[in-house]
Amino acid sequence: MEIKRFWERKEAFDFLVIHFFQVANQSISTKGVFNVAVSGGSSPAPFFKELINQASQFYHWNKVNFFWVDERWVSFENKESNFGEASRLGLTTIPAQFYPFQTDVSEPKLSIEKYQEELKRNFIDQQGFDFVILGAGTDEHTASIFHSNLTEAKSAALAFHTIHPTTGQIRLSISMPLITQSHEVVLLLLGAEKIAILKSLSAVPSTGMSPVQTAILTSKKSMIVTDIND
């Protein structure tokens, strides 16, 4: 696990965009495609904006596939939709391919089946993603993997649907094995409220690992990008 610390958030996102392009070029050079999974919530929004600003600096968007690590069971027009928010920020103006969880089908189970078919069609079931960008809640959840469903998330092959432990909202999420088998996992930890999470990732867990600890500490290659310098 590598930790990249920055004094300013803009520096953090500038670095992340440059790193994204570097990993993308390497992946495309090696196998002709770059499969990336991105998180929702507030953490990646500045990254999306900076990626859009610098999109003209990258020449292989036709070989980039964007997936989402999780989604809420709401329409894309809903303000809570992860894909919807990314689209409203302008991410879909980039000439790449986009594969969100489908929430316009009759039930979550069908959405998961369709998502898994898309993952298999892109051989992600065999190779994992080339790049995963995660956020983390103060309760140490990541994607839609919480303490309450961690066992299920570990046993699911590719993706699963679940319930938010507090709100009862239906969530769609990729599985923990799919995260940890991916080529590189980046965790965004921004703001003083995430200090405890950063400390928990820097120490050997004395008990069972939390979702974010599992994702970062058991991945093949992981990096934390943070503005925490305490």
Which tens digits make up the pLDDT trace of 58-77?
Answer: 999 999 999 999 999 999 99
Pairing of strands 34-38, 131-134: parallel
Amino acid at 176: M
| Edge-to-edge order in the sheet of strand 222-226 | 2-5, 222-226, 185-189, 131-134, 34-38, 64-68, 97-99
Task: Pick 214 or 43 by higher pLDDT.
Answer: 214
Provide mean pLDDT across the span 36-47: 92
Tally of domains in the chain: 1
Looking at residue 101, what is its pLDDT? 98
- Cα separation, 114 vs 174, in Å, equals 13
- Which CATH number does the domain housing residue 189 bear? 3.40.50.1360
Provide mean pLDDT across the span 6-26: 97
Provide mean pLDDT across the span 195-220: 89
Provide mean pLDDT across the span 34-49: 93
Looking at residue 202, what is its pLDDT? 86
* pLDDT above 70 for 121: yes
* pLDDT above 70 for 5: yes
Q: Which residues pair with 133 in a beta bridge?
A: 38, 186
Residue range of the domain that includes 167: 2-226
Provide mean pLDDT across the span 15-20: 98
Looking at residue 42, what is its pLDDT? 83
Binned at pLDDT 50, 70 and 90, residue 131 comes out as very high
Binned at pLDDT 50, 70 and 90, residue 206 comes out as low
